[in-house]
Amino acid sequence: MDDTRARIVREARRWIGTPYCHQASTLGAGCDCLGLVRGVWRAVHGAEPVPVPPYGPDWAETGGTEALWQALATLWPAATGPMRPGEVLLFRMRAGSMAKHLGLATQAGPGARFVHAYSGHGVVESALSAPWARRIVARFDMT
């Protein structure tokens, strides 16, 4: 694993235990899944590349555009090939809903894992089990 990927993984794991707080992005105090990615970006790369407008907490939004997906695609290239640690993972939690959940891959291959901020759980590291893996709709390389 190259140095930037290793730094992303280390930083994501530092956020474990941070409480869930919608639209927040503060290590140890609170964040949501986008706030986690923003915080890791700041720690690894510096200032955030764009301001983040207000957004709703509901995973089940339907219709409209894939605003989060489109925004991520303007910032980072789509990841190709096998998943690698440090990639940003975008999930669609329910069929027909918007893709609105993010995580950071921490381990690839057998035993794949990711860190994410999950409502009711805070920031946790989870196994990228089949139910999670089948919900990934895009991967981005923030290195």
Q: What is the per-residue pLDDT for 59? A: 60
What number of CA atoms fall less than 13 Å from residue 95's CA on the CB side?
2
Q: What is the per-residue pLDDT for 100? A: 92
Q: What is the per-residue pLDDT for 133? A: 97
> Domain boundaries in the chain?
3-140
**Angle at the Cα of 85 (from 112 to 14), degrees rounded to 5?**
95
Look up the CATH architecture of domain 3-140: Alpha-Beta Complex (3.90)
- Spans in the chain with pLDDT lower than 70: 59-63
Cα pseudo-dihedral 71, 93, 13, 104, rounded to 10: -40
- Sequence-distant (6+) residues with CB within 8 A of 5 are 84, 85, 86, 143
Q: What is the per-residue pLDDT for 53? A: 84
